[in-house]
Structure 1
Amino acid sequence: MTLEVQREGEHDFVGRNERGAEVRIGHKDSEGAFSPAELLQIAAAGCSAVTAEHLITRRVGDDSKFTVFLTADRREGASELDAVHVVFGVDVSSLDADQREALATAVDRAIDRLCTVSRTLKTGIPVTETFPTA
């Protein structure tokens, strides 16, 4: 799969995939755009949501809506995040305590096993850059 990020203007970029999806990228104060650090966090939350969707809808109901919230720890002035916290907001009031615990365990296990983004963040990978020199 080919992904690209193209500069559109000052602090204004568009990320694209081969399927025609686009996302605006800019500084953290850029109107209508995600910062790269926000996209990293969104990727973690999105991966968790996609991974857990079937488990949640099967147990809570096919029409269940849920939101995945996230925050990140970042030291003042640091150029990296220290932690990303993903929190599921889902109404589990129709489940008893044992069912809620079983669902939480199943969701955690699925994310730990299947979520590419979370697994990559936890293990860390090399990131390389290539810049033309001629």
Structure 2
Amino acid sequence: MTDNTRRSVAIERTRTGHFTATNPRGGTISFGTSSDPDGGADFTPVELLLAAIGGCTAADVDVATARHAEPTGFTVSVTGNKIGDESGNRMTDLVVTFSVAFPDGDLGDRARTILPRAVKTSHDRLCTVSRTVEIGTPVTATIADA
């Protein structure tokens, strides 16, 4: 792999059940465990997975449609069921639902026409996150020397 294909984040424990992920550009996001007794507004790792799936597809769809008309509303909902079985814990029945509105007129009509194809193309080819989940990619866990 080359430097232009490698993606990475560093995760640091900030306190029990709380972590901060930092990307190479300095962006951060905090997350934690759903069993955290303090509650809090942090995302869980599963919620981050759902956000990544929806966010990836949303970005693709936005690029394809916004060049024709600025949406007047654009939301994406991602749902799924967390289960545990003989294969371990995992998510099933993942669904990404778009609710997008465009202004009246020719440009809005064009964006509305493109919307279904943009969603399908993102799902079938472009969204790295959902493609990785659907195809399945082995994950290796290692321990570095401290």
- TM-score (ref. length: structure 1): 0.82
The 8 Å contact of residues 55 and 107 in structure 1, kept in 2 or not, is answered as: no
Separation in structure 1 between the aligned mates of residue 82 and residue 25 of structure 2, nearest angstrom: 33
2:26 is equivalent to residue 20 of structure 1? yes
Structure 1 residue ranges, 4+ long, deviating more than 6 angstroms after superposition? none
Give the structure-2-normalised TM-score. 0.76
SS at match of 1:105: helix
- How far apart are the structure 2 equivalents of 1:81 and 1:51? 23
Matched residues in 2 for 1:103 and 1:93: separation?
14
> How far does the alpha carbon of each residue in 1:27-73 deviate from its partner, in whole angstroms, 9 at most, with x for none?
125412111110000000000111110222134x2254411111112
What is the CA–CA distance in structure 2 between the aligned matches of 1:118 and 1:25, rounded to whole Å?
21
2:96 alignment partner AA = V
User: How far apart in 2 are the matches of 1:21 and 1:5?
Assistant: 12
Who is 2:4 aligned against? none
CA contact (8 A) 1:57 1:64 kept: no
- Give how far 1:90 is off: 0.8
Aligned residue pair count: 132
Q: Which runs of 5+ in 2 are unaligned?
A: 1-6
List gaps (5 residues or longer) in structure 1.
none
Paired with 1:23 and 1:40, the residues of 2 have a C-alpha distance of 13
Please say if 1:115 is aligned against 2:115.
Answer: no
Distance 1:90 1:27 in 2: 32
